[in-house]
Every structure is written in structure tokens, then in C-alpha cells.
Structure 1
Amino acid sequence: MKIYGLKNCDTCRKALKSLDGAVLIDIRETPLEDALLDRALEQFAEKLVNTRSTTWRGLDDAERARPPRDLLRDHPALMKRPLIETADGELLLGWTRTQQQALGI
């Protein structure tokens, strides 16, 4: 299982601690592969962009109007975290009760 997020994100660290054998991939150091980003955008659309983040608040209106894919490429910290890819390729976004239950936690 892979957790895509930031190594200094508390939510990502909680998910990593709860999921035995999971690996955290820091998206600032290792950007999402195009195919994975496309799958995530197809499944979650605009929900993949965290509009409550400090990074988002620092963007001007023109920057915010850009397509989500371009925003996430230029500002990886804008991605809602964590993005979890299970062993069978299923994608889950966030670390809520719903995602935890889907993972059997």
C-alpha cells in the first residue's frame, strides 16, 4: 500500500502509523506519476485540490482558475492528503472514518 502525501503532514503520518507495511511517498520529492494523477483526477476531480490549505490562500484568482492538474503539478502541497493506493489499485482520498473503515481499521 502506498500513501502519497507530505512527510511533515500530521494526517499522513497518522495514516502511515495505522497501516502496517504502508510506504509514504512525499509528493514534493517524488511527484505523482502522470497515470496516477490522471486516475486520481478522474475519480476525485476538484476534490483532489485542498482549497483550505495555506498554499491555496496564497494564490491569486488567476492561479486558482487554472486546471487542477496544472495546479497540482506546480504546487504539490495543494493536493488533499493523504492519497492512498491500496494493493489492488483502489484509490482513497483523505483519512476519515469512511476511509479507515474501507481499509479495515
Structure 2
Amino acid sequence: MSTPTIIIYGIPNCDTVKKARAWLTEQGVDYQFHDFKKQGVPAGRLPGWLQAVGRDKLLNTRGTTWRKLDADVQARAGDDAGAMGVMQEHPSVIKRPVAEWDGKASGRVSVGFDVGQWNELLKA
């Protein structure tokens, strides 16, 4: 069985991203990290993420960044196309980390960090 190419997307100073990266390192798992702040949000990945996990899970409407957005910007996120635009403009509204377990947006994708779920995804 080959080791999956795991890509972790997020912001390095996010506590959840830090926990996820530390956990992968503890497990001896190689992964790539994509920094939204330095590298931006890969627009070509967003449709696959939305299809895999859904807008309600990917778009963090409970965080500080979301609450600071103008009501008209929030309203634009009411459909997938608008949500993708808002996520491109404001990467911090994406729930983190986004993990591509097969190295592609059309593969297995998870959002957030849950040890039980990640253990299962590593085994798959």
C-alpha cells in the first residue's frame, strides 16, 4: 500500500492547523502544507472541496472573520459560486485545516481536525 500524498491547507498560526500538523508529524506521515496567507486559496480546488464536504462545512460562518464582513459580502456567500468568491477574497473564512488525502480536490477531503476521522483516513 502506498502512502497517500496528503496536502494540508490552512494558516500556520491557526491552533487547529498546528494540532493537525503536529499529529501528522507524530504519526510519521509526510505531507505538504499550503499556506493560504502566502500562497493564496487555490481557486481550482474550491469546487472539489465544496462537492466533497459542502458549503456549510467549508465556510466558517461562526468565526471572527465572518462576523467582521459586511452584510452584503456575507449575502454573496449564499450559493456555491458566491461562496467561492468570498473564500478567495477572505481565506480566513475557510474552516481549517482542509486536507486532501489523495493530493487532489476530487479525492478524499476533510475539513477540521478530528483524530478518529484522521486515523480512519490514514488507514483507507
Q: TM-score range by the shorter chain?
A: 0.7 to 0.9
- 4+ residue stretches of structure 1 with deviation over 6 A? none
Q: Verify: 1:30 aligned to 2:45, yes or no.
A: no
Q: Is the 8 A contact 2:52 2:108 kept in 1?
A: no
Out of 111, 115, 121, the position equivalent to 1:93 is 111
Q: Is the 8 A contact 1:3 1:25 kept in 2?
A: yes
Question: How high is the TM-score relative to the length of structure 2?
Answer: 0.75
CA RMSD in angstroms, aligned pairs only = 1.8
Matches within 5 A, 1:1-105: 1-19=6-24, 20-46=29-55, 47-66=57-76, 67-87=82-102, 89-104=107-122
Q: Which moved more, 1:70-79 or 1:58-67?
A: 58-67
Aligned positions, number = 105
1:97 Cα offset (Å): 4.1
Residues 98/64 of structure 1: CA separation in 2 closer, same or farther (3 Å cut):
farther
Question: How high is the TM-score relative to the length of structure 1?
Answer: 0.87
What amino acid is aligned across from residue 96 of structure 2 in structure 1?
R
1:104 Cα offset (Å): 4.1
| Post-superposition CA distance 1:5-61 (Å, at most 9, x none) | 000011111111111212221112112322211101122232211111110010121
Q: Percent identity?
A: 34
SS of 1:33's equivalent?
A: coil
What amino acid is aligned across from residue 14 of structure 2 in structure 1?
C
Q: Tell me, in whole angstroms, the C-alpha distance in 2 between the residues paired with 1:98 and 1:51.
A: 24
Larger gyration radius, structure 1 or structure 2? 2
Q: Tell me, in whole angstroms, the C-alpha distance in 2 between the residues paired with 1:98 and 1:65.
A: 34
